[in-house]
Structure 1
Amino acid sequence: MRDARQKSARVAALRPAYRADLDAGTDRFFAARRTTCPWCSSGRIGLRLRTTDLLQHKPGRFLLDRCADCGHIFQNPRLTAEGLEFYYRDFYDGLGEQRMSGTFGGRGAMYRGRAEAMLPHDSAPKTWLDVGTGHGHFCAAARTVLPGTAFDGLDFTDGVELAAREGRVDHAYRGAFPDLAPELAARYDVVSMFHYLEHSTDPDRELRAAHRAVRPGGHLLIEVPDPESRYARLLGRWWLPWLQPQHLHFVPVANLRHRLTGLGFTVVAEEHAEAHDPVDLLAAVWLALDHTAPREDAPWLPERPGALRRAARAALLLAGVPALITATLLDRFAVRPFSHRIGLSNAYRLVARRD
């Protein structure tokens, strides 16, 4: 009860600032629409998906276009710097920090699996930079796999500074990776980007920064959502990896392999089943329930929902528990063993060596 009162007070305190942002209109949150593909410059682009913010439920409608020539999917129109600040605010930090820290902190087995993906290629890297590290939970888990490795973290939020204070990373870099890359040149045996590239406004610039930070003979480890997953079509807007409006680019694996080769990397491993996170059906059911239910209190709402609406939300979510349990069982036991064979892996992972 005390935590609920504290959260309500925090929401109320944030409401005036959000109200001022929204009163000024949302047009400034969006750049002009592109007429060409940002990956290959083709003009053959068309609408792939129309959706809303299904996680925070902040106002706005978001469009994803697909290139008919290279298959690249991208947000169009893309968020501006003001838009990125607005939609990221209180998601990973601020109001959402505790929730996201709990979510990421409980995924140790997945993080260890990511670190183990490097073992066949470099069993004892001395230095590792995790780009987009958030609160540093990957680095903390990876130390159990590679106890002799020094792990640094880079992120543009204050989560990376928290990671340093908590001892999850040895050194924290806060800022944009391309801007920091010159001081990191050839410093790292491994640079990792786990579900980071899709958030970037310019993936090619991020890849060039990675090439600069990895020493010759070192490795770049990338994991991103797979836009060619059959789940992307089967689940439509309820497919969690779309994650609008945060995810700006979805790169087919052939495109990324080709770009890495052009930058001077050799791709030494491609993994799909190992990168799959078995949550697609569970997340789809939850997103649909949460979308249908009355909103919970949030500072971007004009006022706090009344008792009747809160009770209706609780009742609907409770009624959805059997569906959530069923979806979880299907994800973990029916689909996961065959996910790659039937094209349902929701992510892929590449390991590339700098030549």
Structure 2
Amino acid sequence: MSDEPESGAPATTRPEPSRSEEVAALRPVYQADLAKGLDRFFEAPRTTCPWCGSARLKTRLRTTDLLQHKPGRFVLDRCQDCRHTFQNPRLSDEGLEFYYRDFYDGLGEKQLGNTFAGRTTMYRRRAESLLPFASAPKNWLDVGTGHGHFCESARTVYPGTTFDGLDFTDGAELAERAGRVERGYRGSFPDLAPGLAGHYDVVSMFHYLEHSTEPDLELTAAHQAIRPGGHLLIEVPDPDSRYARLLGRFWLPWLQPQHLHFVPVDNLRNRLTDLGFTVLAEQHAEPHDPVDLLAATWLCLDSAAPRDNLPWLPTPPGALSRVLRGAMVIAGIPALILGTLLDRFAVKPLSHRLGVSNAYRLLARRD
């Protein structure tokens, strides 16, 4: 007897698995990974600054994974000469795969996709920051594009521009299939740049450089991909923000263990100049994302509450843990609301004056 549906009968579709089913399916894989130990997820510690080579290093921060709660402890060191802050020891290739897995794709794809999709105003403002210097670029490459939501919004500002995206996760491929980018490149920008030499009028890196293992190679790749006279637009967390000190490990832009490098603005300006760029604009207030107090409140609350059902935990939480977690989250709602109000209405208008802007943006022209 044939297993095919009768002619004209609708084919049955298998329902998507629930989150609990997805977690249960992933748990044996994660437990097998963790059984091999965490040492392989880290390189040997550095004794010199990766930016300037100085040996004068000082520990700035020790923390855990406050977002996914994957096991491990992470250290950020700060160079006493150039002020560059970096993860030390740095994640190895195996570590990068382990800690990125199920964050932007897989288990976390839907949640992160919805979060990014809802930030259209921020994306438009990023795109508009180029308008005084280039009103109609022919083609634009967004490096670290994620699911391509920036390109989708930027197209409303530059309707005649072709937008491509590049990412080392499958986000670029998802963005291409969704029509948010014309071409989605998956892989390493330094590896792909020779094939893109001189092709783009604009290359953007929005909160990408801090994820890269070698920021200098990424900047060199950008110089290679941009035609002479084209522009590079970079936005990164500002390690000199006062919030970085006041909120400690609960400052969201630390984002351990994903963020590997935190470059002070003077360092980045100087490196771009050395590569053959002219910095045209520097912004601090404009790229500030007013979420610091809300995020810090949530990270504190989430750290104190019992864990959610996560596949890297050996067993799912019991009924009592689930009830207690729900009760703590509900009890924390007033604090979350207060943090939101302070972020948006009290701090945001004064963020640059108070020195708490959590990001900066540089626009540079390739000479």
Report SS of the residue matched to 1:341. helix
Q: Which residue of 2 aligns with 1:83?
A: 95
Q: Which residue of 2 aligns with 1:181?
A: 193
* Superposed counterparts of 1:188-337, under 5 Å: 188-337=200-349
d(CA) in 2 for partners of 1:29, 1:220:
33
Report SS of the residue matched to 1:223. strand
d(CA) in 2 for partners of 1:151, 1:205:
23
Report SS of the residue matched to 1:39. coil
d(CA) in 2 for partners of 1:336, 1:292:
28
Q: Which residue of 2 aligns with 1:54?
A: 66
Report SS of the residue matched to 1:154. strand
Larger radius of gyration: 2
Which of 28, 31, 36 is the matching residue for 2:48? Answer: 36
| Per-residue deviation, residues 267-296 of structure 1 (Å, max 9, x unmatched) | 000000001000000000000000000000
Does residue 14 (structure 1) correspond to residue 26 (structure 2)? The answer is yes
Which of 60, 74, 85 is the matching residue for 2:86? Answer: 74
Q: Which residue of 2 aligns with 1:111?
A: 123
After superposing on structure 2, the runs of 4+ consecutive aligned residues of structure 1 that deviate more than 2 Å are none
d(CA) in 2 for partners of 1:171, 1:15:
34
Deviation of the 1:13 alpha carbon: 0.3
Query: In structure 2, do the counterparts of structure 1 residues 4 and 338 end up closer, same or farther at CA, with 3 Å as the change threshold?
Result: farther
d(CA) in 2 for partners of 1:333, 1:340:
14
d(CA) in 2 for partners of 1:29, 1:174:
23
Does residue 23 (structure 1) correspond to residue 55 (structure 2)? The answer is no
Q: Which residue of 1 aligns with 2:10?
A: none
d(CA) in 2 for partners of 1:235, 1:5:
38
Report SS of the residue matched to 2:228. strand
Deviation of the 1:27 alpha carbon: 0.3
d(CA) in 2 for partners of 1:302, 1:5:
20
Query: In structure 2, do the counterparts of structure 1 residues 296 and 141 end up closer, same or farther at CA, with 3 Å as the change threshold?
Result: same
Report SS of the residue matched to 1:302. coil
1:181 maps to amino acid: A
d(CA) in 2 for partners of 1:185, 1:222:
19
d(CA) in 2 for partners of 1:173, 1:265:
25
Q: Which residue of 2 aligns with 1:345?
A: 357
Report SS of the residue matched to 1:49. strand
Deviation of the 1:57 alpha carbon: 0.1
Report SS of the residue matched to 1:330. helix
Deviation of the 1:159 alpha carbon: 1.1
Report SS of the residue matched to 1:63. strand
d(CA) in 2 for partners of 1:17, 1:193:
33
Which of 98, 101, 107 is the matching residue for 2:110? Answer: 98
d(CA) in 2 for partners of 1:5, 1:245:
29
Deviation of the 1:199 alpha carbon: 0.2
Report SS of the residue matched to 2:354. coil
Q: Which residue of 1 aligns with 2:165?
A: 153
Deviation of the 1:86 alpha carbon: 0.3
1:152 maps to amino acid: D
Give TM-score, length-normalised by structure 2: 0.95
| Per-residue deviation, residues 210-230 of structure 1 (Å, max 9, x unmatched) | 000000000000000000000
Deviates more, 1:157-166 or 1:310-319: 157-166
Deviation of the 1:4 alpha carbon: 11
Deviation of the 1:42 alpha carbon: 0.2
d(CA) in 2 for partners of 1:260, 1:197:
13
Structure 1 unaligned blocks of 5 or more: none
Deviation of the 1:49 alpha carbon: 0.1
d(CA) in 1 for partners of 2:168, 2:137:
25
Deviation of the 1:166 alpha carbon: 0.7
d(CA) in 2 for partners of 1:190, 1:115:
11
d(CA) in 1 for partners of 2:153, 2:37:
43
d(CA) in 2 for partners of 1:140, 1:21:
37
Identity across matched positions, percent = 75
Structure 2 unaligned blocks of 5 or more: 1-14
| Per-residue deviation, residues 307-348 of structure 1 (Å, max 9, x unmatched) | 110000000000000000000000000000000011010000
Give TM-score, length-normalised by structure 1: 0.99
d(CA) in 2 for partners of 1:156, 1:61:
24
d(CA) in 1 for partners of 2:16, 2:108:
14
Report SS of the residue matched to 2:94. helix
| Per-residue deviation, residues 117-136 of structure 1 (Å, max 9, x unmatched) | 00011011010000000000
